[in-house]
Structures are given as C-alpha cells and as structure tokens.
Structure 1
C-alpha cells in the first residue's frame, strides 16, 4: 500500500473509541479489507509492473503462455479417463483451472490479468505517458503469451508427447473454441474478461484462500464455455496445426472477438467500475 492511503482512513476499527489497543488490533484482523485498500494494493502492484523492463515482461509472458497450456492438456486427460456421461464436463472443467493456478500463483504475466492491474494507475493519474506504458505492457505480454501458446500447441500436435487417444481428446476439447459466431464469441469473451479481472480484484482480500478463488472463478469460465484469449489460443492454434482450422479462422472467428471482449470486460466492467466506487475516498 502506498503512503497516500493512510491506514486510519481505511480501518473502521481505528475509529472506535471504546476499545483498548489490543481489541482494536483484533477487530482490524477480523475486518474485511475495504475497497479503497484493495484498490491501493492492486494499484501499487500496477505501478511496479509498468516499470518492469521489456525483457522481463516478455519472459514472464512466455512463461504464462506455456503454463496456460495445461488448462487444455489436463481436461483432455480427464476426458479419456472419465466415462461418456452428461456430467463429464463438470469434472473435466476442473482441469481447466490448473494452468491458471500455475500462472497466478507463479506471478507470471497473463494478458487478461493486465486489463485491471496496470489500468488502475492510469485511471488514478491519467497521462499520455502512463497510457503509453500500459499499451507497451499490453503489447509485450499479449504477443509473448500468444507466441508461447502456438509453441505449446505445436508440441502437442507434432510430437509423440501424448498418444492418439489424448490428442483426439485435445481436439474435441478445443473445437468449442471455434463454434460460436463473432457476436456470441465476443459476449462470451466479455464475461470471461470480467471474471478474470474480478479474480485479480479479489486476490488481495483472499489471504490463504487464493487458490480456491482461482479455482472457483476459472472453473466458471470453463463450465460455461466462455472465451479466454490465451487459454483459447492454445485450443484454436492446435486446431490450425492439425488442419481442422485455418489461420483466417483463428484470426476472425477466435482472436479478434475474444481479444475485444476480454479487454472490454476487464477494463470497463472491473477496472472502471471498481475505480469509480473508491475514487471519492482517494480524493479526500
């Protein structure tokens, strides 16, 4: 938390005059963090991310793009192990959470997380310089994420890493990525971007429950067949590698609507709205 957000303004317990010091401290420990405290925590992290070097962002983005591939592999492995039943998707969707657990807990750079974290410093102190820093971060992280997903899917498609049964399951799991028309894909992406940015907003208040927050939020993304630009890129590029889709399909049926939707969902529905609720407090 930065110095311009004093604790006594954010802690309701400090305003209670009939408690002794130990009781005030106990209340503080039991109290939920305020929206302003969550905002300042994420904003401080965003400031640090904007200052990172291009090389550091690129390497972290590549790591995230590779790690998110496990959100495609694990569901496919589960599909081969589970019987063909109406409830199968409810269990295989749990496998989708694995890549996000690795990325978020490993502090790797994922584009959809960055629709919130670096945007808060820009909203707090708008300037052309900060806008350039945000666009620089987005460009480097998105490009490195996408490159890594293509590398990961190429390994899945063109090496004997997995047997034919699992490869067929990966293809089956991936086909839903290309099935929706542009408008429906865009709306699915808005909801996914909204949920992932909300996950980032929830993290400072989650404490030791961070893994459960990640699992719950990303499970909803998977079970509802929502569109995520990075995890979905592993699926869509895999279909291109095995000849079931073209580069045009990848670009216009998946990439463009999903990128637009994820960005809108994260920036507008989470960053702007949550900033709006704390802006009056921060200005006082």
Structure 2
C-alpha cells in the first residue's frame, strides 16, 4: 500500500506515490517521463475530432480551392511512380523502388494541409460520431461532396495536362499508361475490397500523425508505400491514373465510373469511416465508461 502521509500531514498525490514504487526521480525527470509517454487514445481522438470540427465549419469556397489543390497535388504520386518506372525498367526489384514515388502526393497534401477526401472519411466523421445530429450529418455530406468534386476536378486537370502538354518521351508515356492499366486489371469487387484496405490505411495514418511529431514524414511514407506495394485502390490517386487512360482513349468514361470509381469510393468510405473510425471511437467510449 502507498503511504498515506509524507512530510508532515500533507496528503500524498497518487502519482507521487506511484513514482516512489519505481525508481526515485526528480520532478524534472518525472516531467521528462510524462513528456516521452505516448498520448492517451482519448487525446488523439479529441485532436482529430477538433480538426474535423474545423473542417466542417470552413466555407464552401475555402474547401473547394483546397480540394482542387489536393487533387492536382495527388497527381504527382502517379507522375513520380511513372518516372521511376521509366528509368528503372529492367532492374531487379524495380517495383519496390518505383513504389516509393507513390507517397509524394500524400506528403504534399498533408504537410500543406490541403483537403483530401480519404482523410475526411476519418477526421470529419468523428464529430458526427461524438455528437450525432442531422445538422452534423448534413455538414458531413456537404464537406464530402465539395472535397470529392474538387479532388476529382484536380485529378482530371492533372491527367489531361500530363497527356497533352507533351512533357515526356514515348517510354515515359507508356509507363504512365501501364500504371492505369494495372489498376483497371482489377475486377469491380477487387476495387471495392482493395479500397477498404486503402481507406483503413489512410485512416490509420491520420490517427498516427498527431502522435508522430518529428516522425510525421516517416508515418506518411511508410503507410502510403504499403498501399502502393499491395496495389490497394485509392479513389483520388487512382482517378489520376485511370483518367489518364480515358483522355488517351484507352478507357471509356463509363468504365472509369462503373468499374473503378464507384467501387473504390465505396471501399475507401467503408475502410476509413465504417471500420477504422467507428472502432477507434468505440475504443475511446469504452475507456471513458470504465473510468467512471
């Protein structure tokens, strides 16, 4: 049992008593221990929830411009991967290296705080789960609609410009077409199931970034690199890759919409919102219930 008194009749703080059960530490050292401990799950939840509240309250024009910028930025994930593929052709293990180009767009979007739809499947959902209401639900649909459309317009502009500006040689253009063809080799069911995993991984990344501090870049790179390695489908990056095929005449618009976009969009939402966000929210609620 902890002692009940120390130095006169001053009651002992439970944390001080716990500290004495271990090594003897100065107040400064105890502060260092607290600083180095990972944040509680509730702290991460509240950090992301407040970020979601901020996003839900932004004006339509601010959301639209930020979403457009994010769609354009995500095009660099395809471009970086295509350029690496072009210059590493024939090299053993080239796929492992070229997949390192995939995180580039995510780094730009997240560090520049642009609006990416698959991030919002996590951040913007937590406020609704915490305080459910029709008003919050309407704000969520508004945010999702504006950001998704803005992202798609950005990806379409990037893909069209990349094709028609004649920036690269035929080998690079073939590499870019090959990336889109690789995505379209999936069946609609695979688009959906792989989209679930991608949505889950993006939500995991969003959850980890606030706690990562100086390791934020590493968290973003490792998580999105895994998406590239697994060939998991992401609605925004995949839209650049497949719209490039559409503008090149290698894919019909209906094929883009029905075969790729709708199944992948559904999978990303299920993975990011219905699975990861729901489980994380339930975990925090359970912790709070036990603490009472």
Q: TM-score, normalised by structure 1?
A: 0.92
Q: Find the partner of 1:72 among 71, 78, 88.
A: 78
Structure 2, unpaired ranges of 5+: 1-13
Q: How far did residue 54 of structure 1 move?
A: 0.5
Aligned equivalent of 2:167: 161
Seen in structure 2, the aligned counterparts of structure 1 residues 20 and 146 have a Cα distance that, compared at 3 Å, is same
Q: How far did residue 86 of structure 1 move?
A: 4.8
Aligned equivalent of 2:178: 172
**Counterpart-to-counterpart distance in 2, 1:250 and 1:210:** 33
Seen in structure 2, the aligned counterparts of structure 1 residues 191 and 14 have a Cα distance that, compared at 3 Å, is farther
**Counterpart-to-counterpart distance in 2, 1:245 and 1:112:** 24
**Counterpart-to-counterpart distance in 2, 1:108 and 1:16:** 44
Aligned equivalent of 1:114: 120
Seen in structure 2, the aligned counterparts of structure 1 residues 246 and 199 have a Cα distance that, compared at 3 Å, is same
**Counterpart-to-counterpart distance in 2, 1:256 and 1:193:** 14
1:222-264, Cα deviation, whole Å (9 max, x unpaired) = 0111100000000010000001100011001100000000000
Higher CA-based Rg: 2
Native 8 Å contact 1:149 1:230 kept in 2: yes
1:115-143, Cα deviation, whole Å (9 max, x unpaired) = 11011111000000000011100000000
Q: How far did residue 69 of structure 1 move?
A: 0.3
**Counterpart-to-counterpart distance in 1, 2:16 and 2:201:** 33
Corresponding position: 1:124 with 2:123: no
**Counterpart-to-counterpart distance in 1, 2:287 and 2:186:** 42
Bigger drift between 191-200 and 165-174 goes to: 165-174
Aligned equivalent of 1:141: 147
**Counterpart-to-counterpart distance in 2, 1:99 and 1:15:** 49
Q: How far did residue 161 of structure 1 move?
A: 2.1
CA root-mean-square deviation: 1.6
Q: Find the partner of 2:51 among 42, 45, 50.
A: 45
Aligned equivalent of 1:25: 31
**Counterpart-to-counterpart distance in 2, 1:14 and 1:221:** 45
Aligned equivalent of 1:62: 68
Bigger drift between 140-149 and 159-168 goes to: 159-168
**Counterpart-to-counterpart distance in 2, 1:262 and 1:255:** 10
**Counterpart-to-counterpart distance in 2, 1:235 and 1:28:** 46
Aligned equivalent of 1:265: 271
**Counterpart-to-counterpart distance in 1, 2:16 and 2:254:** 59
1:37-64, Cα deviation, whole Å (9 max, x unpaired) = 1001111111111110010000110000
Native 8 Å contact 1:118 1:134 kept in 2: yes
Corresponding position: 1:225 with 2:240: no
